[in-house]
Chain A
Amino acid sequence: MKYILMMNTMRAGQGVPQWDQKDLQAHIAFMIGLNKGLRQSGELVSAEGLSFPDQAKLVRAGTDGVPITDGVFPESKEFLAGYWIVDVDSPERAYAIAAKVSAAPGPGGTPLNMPIEVRPIMSGPPPEML
């Protein structure tokens, strides 16, 4: 079964570039190692990082079909920073991987303990919708 593991940030929390070089390298090395392990176990479907929230746009269709973009978000909005899609045997395994992601090292090597949202992915639209 497939799960998506979502790492979210508040806008104020996009502080990764302010970390010192060593902490940033340790964090990235940890993530690369984690992805490598998931690739070897055959559980990694995909993993991507998103660009920072200052580039995010909200789009709605206008009545004439022309997209209307808006980049103004409430301060409290959570932004997706990155995600992993994993194919695992049980929800518990998805939670265990999420806990590893959560424990990625931050400044001074201390685990960040970031909250990671874990959601099952639908294998397809429900049959009644096709």
Chain B
Amino acid sequence: MKYILLMSGAKAGVDSYHAWSQKDIETHMAVLRSITNDLSGSGEFVATQGLAEPAEAKVVRGEKNGMPVTDGIFPESKEFLLGYWIVDVATPERAYAIAGRISAAPGPGGAPTNMPIEVRRFAAYEQSKSQ
């Protein structure tokens, strides 16, 4: 079954990440890469992506004439998706274990970030379609 692991953060979190040292960022990225490598090795990896800065985010609504109306104004508290992993695993517990590893990726000074990772299963219709 497929799960998506969502890493999100509000403005304060994104701002603090920008203040990390180069070395801390490199260590963090190296751990994330090794998680992806392990998932590829176990055949559980489907996809991963990082998103561009929340400053580039727009919210779009269709108007009556079908023309898009864009708006890029968000409350400070809004959580933005920063990146995600899609995994194909045998059990929900396995998805939680992978999310736990991502959560434990090192932050400033090598201490685990303990970022909350939201774990969501793909809808059954989509699962059957992709099988």
Q: How far, in Å, is A124 (CB) from chain B's closest CB?
A: 8
Which chain B residues in 53-104 approach chain A with CB under 8 Å? 54, 56-64, 66-70, 78-81, 92, 96-97, 99-101, 103-104
Is A118 an interface residue, CB under 8 A from the partner?
A: yes
- The answer to whether A61 and B101 have CB atoms under 8 Å apart is yes
With A and B bound together, what is the CA distance between A56 and B121 in angstroms?
8
- The answer to whether A99 and B61 have CB atoms under 8 Å apart is yes
- The answer to whether B62 and A67 have CB atoms under 8 Å apart is no
Is A51 an interface residue, CB under 8 A from the partner?
A: yes
Q: Digit string of A109-124 for contact with B (CB within 8 Å is 1, else 0)?
A: 0010111111111100
Give the interface size bracket for B toward A.
Answer: 35 or more
Give the interface size bracket for A toward B.
Answer: 35 or more
**Majority SS at the chain B contact face:** mixed
- The answer to whether A99 and B51 have CB atoms under 8 Å apart is no
- Give the nearest-CB partner of A81 in chain B: B123
Is B131 an interface residue, CB under 8 A from the partner?
A: no
Q: How far, in Å, is B91 (CB) from chain A's closest CB?
A: 12
- The answer to whether A98 and B60 have CB atoms under 8 Å apart is yes
Is B14 an interface residue, CB under 8 A from the partner?
A: no
- The answer to whether A119 and B66 have CB atoms under 8 Å apart is no
- Give the nearest-CB partner of B122 in chain A: A48
A125 interface neighbour in B29, B66, B116, Cβ under 8 Å: B29
Residues of A within 8 A of B (CB): 4-6, 46, 48-51, 55-62, 65-70, 77-80, 82, 85, 91-92, 95-96, 98-103, 111, 113-122, 125, 128-130
A-B pairs with beta carbons under 8 Å apart, 9 shown: A49-B125, A59-B117, A60-B100, A61-B101, A91-B58, A96-B68, A102-B60, A102-B61, A119-B56
